[in-house]
Each structure stands twice: as C-alpha cells, then as structure tokens.
Structure 1
Amino acid sequence: MYSSIEISGFRSLEQVRLEGLSRVNLLVGSNNSGKTSVLECVGLLHSASDYRVLRSLLELRGEWLPDEDQGRVYDIAQLFSHRDMSARICVSGQRSGPSSQLEAVKTELSVQMEQVQMGLPLHDDAREAADESPGRLVWASSERKGEFRAALTADGMLPVRQPARHGWGTDDDIPRVQFVGTGGLVPGDVGDIFDDVVLTDAEDRAVEAMRLIEPRVERLAVLASKRTPLGSSARGGILLRMQGVDGRVPIGSVGDGMWRMLGLALALARARGGVLLVDEIDTGLHYTVMQKMWTMIAERSRSLDVQVFATTHSRDCYESLASVADPDAVPPGDLTIHRIEPGSGKSNVRFSEHEVAAVAERGLEVR
C-alpha cells in the first residue's frame, strides 16, 4: 500500500506530492486541478509498464485519432506537460513491502529519438527517415526487467496495436490495476470479470452491492452471446432477476445507480491485492446511498487488500464518507480525504478520519 506518491511532468501535474495516503483515498479539488491525472499516475506506477493500463487511460479520455495506415492512433503528447515530448514523466512512491518495511518504487515515460536508439551511423536515406520520426515511447519501471518500447508514427502518435506485455510470465505476475471511469465499467469488462467471479463469494458481494439500491435484486447474469464490444456504452446482455417481477430485467432498465454499484463491486474483486481507481465515484448515486457505498468499499478493500483512490466534486460524497470515518469502526489510517491544489510544487492537503468527521459536523468546505 502506498504511503506517498510524487509526480512530475504528467499532464497538468508539473510537480505534485501526495503524502499520508491511506487504504481509501478520496481526492477533492476544483475543476482542472488534476484529480483524474493523479488516478492515472497511480495506475502507471502500480502497473509496472503493462501496456494495457496505458491503453486503458488513453481510451477512457478518448485520446485517439483516426489513421489511414493504423486504423487509429493514440495522441500520447497529451500525457506530457505542455505537450512537450522532449521532457520526461516521472512517478515515484513509497509503499509497504512484504516485510512491512517501506520500499521505493518508480516509473518513467519518455520519448527517445530513433538515432539514439539505433546507436549506429546512418546512410543519408536512413538518416532522413529517422529525422522525420520522433522515435520510440519508452516506459521503464523499477519493478521489472526490461522496458516497454513502442515505435511512434512519423507524426508522433502511438499505434493502438501493441503487445499486451513484455517480460512478464503470466497475468498473475502483473500488479493489478482497475480503472472505473465516470460512466462505470465498460460493459465488455463487466462480462469478463463476471466470468472470473461467477459462483464465488465475489458474485454474492456484487449482488449485495446492487441490493443497497434495489433490495428486490436476486441474481445477476451475463449472456455470453450478447457481449458488448470494448468501448461501447450499451449494456445489453446484462440481466437481473428481481423479486416480484416476471421475466428477466435488463440492467439498463433500473438506472445508473445500479450500474455504478455493480461496477464498483466487480472492480474491487478484479483489483484484489492491487489498486482501484474510480473517477467521480458518486456518479449516478443518490446521497442517501453514498453512506452504504462507502461502507461497502471500506469493508471490501480491507478484505481484498485493495488500495482505493477516488475523485469527487460532490459535497454529499465527502460528507457521507464521514459517516464511516469512525476510528471505532475502521482501523486508523483507513479513510482520508486529500485536496489536490493546482499549480507546480504543491503537496496535497490531507484530512484524517477525525478531521473528516469534524468537517462534516461543522459543515466546512474542503473542496
């Protein structure tokens, strides 16, 4: 579990440090303060250069363009502060190791010129071609042997089609990172995760999470023949059985809150032993449900050993967190609020369990 993270050169985060991180971290701040960027940096740090994580954050932002040769490409200049690909992105952190001692971890992204990569004299025609290319994206991590390297197109874009991983043995060897965007899990991901948890305790927990909104939910099913392609917003093929209702109920018929709670429960299961990143965690949820949501997240994150980072703009959201930020109910250091301040060289403003409770009781503003 990370206790601190330092970020430089990523999007609008020229230099930011987060200290006093806990198991469940709620990030607040003004628009464009960099809350979502912090989530992305945690994912980059924890994923140890697994390309699928980089791809998922670019997909969630919609940072791709059509391309005649590649089909579509990613605009990776958006990742660098001021779109300056001659600079370097660095995310480092301190976390508890297997022996409970703090260990340092680090990840870096940079663009290296082809001429430097080749390290050989070039003929005139080869030199001209190399001069037209910005080179390769290099993603290095202190936790793995080798690096992720991908050749860029002539205009500095990253082709979508890349190997899923380099140098790892199996998927179980890759540190787990799970993103949940403002629209919830991608429907295709819901089907994939459900395949992993069906007939297990995690399936029961997912149904229990939906019952926090609709107590009549009895079962959940995903029809394999109806799986939705990656990137689609449709929710077809995900069905509910509900007490007192004849026939199967499509999940899209019962509101965004049900979809959000299902996504959070399944994402927690997928993130076991890793990190869960949730953008605008309160999306689709009425304020009366948020206390139950935080209770579910606090309990499941402990049992599954997941560190949670979430963002919000909602006062209801952070005030409802106070209802479970009770030192008698949760271990000290398990729930904190962090205000992200825009600007270079800023550290987060941290609110502990006691301070979160005081903020809610006195009606103070922390955003």
Structure 2
Amino acid sequence: MTMGSAINPVANIHIKHCNIGAYKGLQNIELRDLNVINVLTGNNNSGKTSILELLETLEDPENIYRWYAGVRFWNARYRSSQVFDGIRLLFPIDSQEYKILYSFMEASGDEHSIELHADIEERKFSSEQIYQINKKYGIFPDESDSGYIIDGKCMNLTSSIDGKQNDTVTIYDFQGDLLRRIVEKKIVFFKTLYLSTVAHVSHRFSLSDILRDAEMHQSLVDLLKIFDANIKNITIINERPVEYGFVLDNCNEAIPISSFGDGMKKTIILAAYLLQAKDGILLVDEFETAIHTSAMDEVFAWMAEAALRLNVQIFMTSHSEEAINKLLRIGYKEYINVYTLYKHEGINYVRRLAGEEAIHATDTLRLDLR
C-alpha cells in the first residue's frame, strides 16, 4: 500500500496564511501558519464549511459561478429565486454593506486580496425584458402574459483581485439560472476541488488517472482490501456512462462499485479527488463521513501519504473527536494542524494547535479539540 518512495519530504504548502474579513457569518478570522493537512473543527454553525466554500473560489475568483458554489439550498420548487437570494446570503449577515473580503499569503510570501461587492437596486421590468433576460440562460417563460410590468430587483456584482476591479455582472430576482460562461474560465491562483459530505453517494467521479498510474492503482487496491480482502483489481465495466467495478478473487465478472458500502465508496472518491487535486488544494467536508473507525487508521495514513506525494494541500472539517485523534496518530503529525473555531459574545475566534501540540493537549491536558 505504500507510496513512500515517491514522497518529497519537503511538502509545498500553497497557502501559508489566510485572513477572512467578511463572509456569511464569519468576520475577522485568521488562519495562521497553515500546514499540509489542516483540520477545521468546532461547534455547529461555527463557519467550518464556509471557510471551505471561500477557499474554493481561489481557482477562479472573478467568475461569479465559483462564488455560487457556496449557495446551499437547491429546492427545485424555488429555483427561480435561488440565484438572487442564494448569492445575497453569501454576504455578511450582520452588515448593511454587501461586501465579501479575504486575503492570503502564498508560501513564497506573495500576498493577495479578493473582494466581491454587490449593489442591489429595485426596478420595474416589462414582460419582454424578463423574457429576454431568461432567454439568455436558456429559460423560456410563457410568452402569453406579454404586456405586464412587475417590480423586481437586480444585483450588480463586482469582484476585484489585488485592487484590480473586474467587469460587473448583473443578476435578477426573477432569474431562473446562472450562466456558467459569465467570464472565460482561467486558473488565477490554485486549482481547488471541493468534496462534499454526500459526494460518495452520487457515484460521479473519475478513476481514469488512477487506473493509468500503476503505483497509485495498486496502492488504492491494497487500501480497499481493508474493506474486502478479496479485491484484486479495479476496472471499467461500462464506458457510457462510465462505471467502475471490482475484480474479486472468487468472481469471474467485475462487480459494480455501486454494489458496495458507503465506506468503500467514500475511500474511492477521496482517492479520485486527491489525484485530480495534484499540485493544488483539496477541500473535504466532514472527512470521516461513512468511514468506520476500524478503517480510519489506514485510510487516513493513505490520504496523508498521497497528499505529500501529489503536492496537495488539504483543508477538511470534522465533528468527530475520535477521527481527529486517529488522524493525529497516523505518523504524519508534523504535517497536521488543528484549528478550532468558536464564537464568544458574537466574535469569531480560532485556536491553532500544531500536530504535536494537539496530541499533548488531548493526552495530558484532556482537552477536547472540538
């Protein structure tokens, strides 16, 4: 299972510091001296997932669709209002100003600042204007109601990077979707991949790069043996849509991955995302989800080893004291930091512990890291 021969002992930490001035319920949050693996923990609603959402925009912060990834409600009944209201709720909830602000320092020492600003205005719209705006997004409302006038709102969104302002994008409260091609996609800072708590349920992932890499392929097979000792290979069993399966020692045909448990699916998708995040940043929400405690030691060790090999910096959230403690004891403590988020009298605070400090705090001081 080891990939140790390929590890560079000096890991490249892409982001050294990050300061969040304002985003959703977060204000003046400072993450200092970031490591290869950064665990974000704390009570519910302390802002852990919000930090992942914000870091995801690093790949392309001038593209409004990147920011829209932070919108969490996807009820189809209210689809027409999700774009406008969803983006509006990204802005600080206790401020009269619609402004998101964060900054970060690269390992090289270069510093950057990102802002997203919104102006909201009320206007009257004719049925023809509404039709033409929605048509742009591939939505064709009923034209039989032509001639009416409604009161509506529009939001003018402007992002800026290091003080340089980008083109303004306007969205409307009757807009039914968001155009992905608002700006030409380009990687501005780092490649970022976000792995949600339910991604392993969708089965939408690619293993093609893993299957082409003989060492990674065998390493993943060895890891999956902790779930089923009979696994001897992973292969493609259907091209369109792509479906993967396991070849077992005692079976003549490959069995679809979808037939196995969530723990195995979570491990596979974690591996797929790690490989895709090569030389970039992986964001994992509740990294222990679906992984049984008996498998955590080996899965977490594999994850850390792969991150070092692939030059991936990881940010991940957790509610589990057991999972955090197991992660700290897999043999990579020098590459792990734990950040505990909490609020006191409405003010955000962060407690940072390096791996060795976190182990001492739990073993000697009996401190709950959460």
Whether TM-score is above 0.5 comes out as yes
In the other structure, the counterpart of 1:122 is none
Q: AA paired with 1:137? A: L
Following superposition of structure 1 onto structure 2, how do residues 177-192 of structure 1 map, counting pairs within 5 Å?
177-185=192-200, 187=202, 189-190=204-205
Listed one character per residue, the Cα deviations across residues 188-239 of structure 1 (whole Å, up to 9, x for unaligned) are 640xx32444322444444344334333222223423235xxxxxxxxx332
Following superposition of structure 1 onto structure 2, how do residues 226-305 of structure 1 map, counting pairs within 5 Å?
226-227=241-242, 237-305=243-311
In the other structure, the counterpart of 1:119 is none
In the other structure, the counterpart of 1:353 is 355
In the other structure, the counterpart of 1:219 is 233
The RMSD of aligned alpha carbons is 3.2
Cα distance, 1:162 vs structure 2 = 2.6
- Partner residue of 2:172 out of 153, 157, 161: 153
In the other structure, the counterpart of 2:89 is 78
For 1:212 and 1:140, the matched residues in 2 are separated by 48
In the other structure, the counterpart of 2:144 is none
SS class of match (2:240) = helix
Q: TM-score, normalised by structure 1?
A: 0.77
Q: AA paired with 1:350? A: R
In the other structure, the counterpart of 1:62 is 73
Gaps of 5+ in 1: 116-128, 228-236
In the other structure, the counterpart of 1:135 is 155
Listed one character per residue, the Cα deviations across residues 7-26 of structure 1 (whole Å, up to 9, x for unaligned) are 13211113311112111011
Gaps of 5+ in 2: 1-13, 123-148
For 1:158 and 1:335, the matched residues in 2 are separated by 43
Residue pair 2:41, 2:319 contacting (<8 A) in 1 also? yes
Cα distance, 1:290 vs structure 2 = 1.4
SS class of match (2:342) = coil
Moved over 6 A (4+): none
SS class of match (2:304) = helix
Q: AA paired with 1:207? A: V
The 3 A distance-change label for structure 1 pair 262 and 16 is same
Cα distance, 1:179 vs structure 2 = 0.7
Q: AA paired with 2:303? A: I
Q: TM-score, normalised by structure 2?
A: 0.77
In the other structure, the counterpart of 1:338 is 339
Cα distance, 1:50 vs structure 2 = 4.4
SS class of match (1:341) = strand
For 1:88 and 1:158, the matched residues in 2 are separated by 24
The 3 A distance-change label for structure 1 pair 147 and 195 is farther
For 1:146 and 1:189, the matched residues in 2 are separated by 36
For 2:225 and 2:87, the matched residues in 1 are separated by 41
- Partner residue of 1:34 out of 47, 51, 55: 47
Cα distance, 1:250 vs structure 2 = 2.2
In the other structure, the counterpart of 1:109 is 116
Residue pair 2:65, 2:179 contacting (<8 A) in 1 also? no
For 1:320 and 1:293, the matched residues in 2 are separated by 10
